[in-house]
Amino acid sequence: MEPLQESISDDGAAARPPAGSTPTPPVRARHMLPPKGACWYCEKPLDNVRRFCDKECADAFDEEKEYTR
């Protein structure tokens, strides 16, 4: 069995996914935030990996960002 290779265009970008595959969702603002040791919405202390303490804070952060554009 031969290894699979992804097609790469001349500019170095990866090729489009094959037809029929599900598109990737857009990147939300919260995914670009660096972990800071506290929830970005309510400031509850967290480890240095997580950005939000729960889904409610993450959703509230997204909603607030939509209205403050």
Tell me how crowded residue 58 is: count the other CB atoms within 10 A of its CB. Answer: 19
Per-residue pLDDT of the chain (69 residues; tens, 9 = 90+): 666 655 555 555 555 556 666 666 666 777 889 999 999 999 999 999 999 999 999 999 999 988 887
Residue 45, token pair as written in the block: 């202390």
Distance in angstroms (rounded) separating the CA atoms of residues 59 and 53: 11
pTM greater than 0.85 (yes/no) = no
Contacts of 29 (CB under 8 A, 6+ apart): 61, 62, 65
Q: Are 15 and 9 in contact (CB under 8 A)?
A: yes
Nearest to 15 by CA among 24, 6, 23: 6
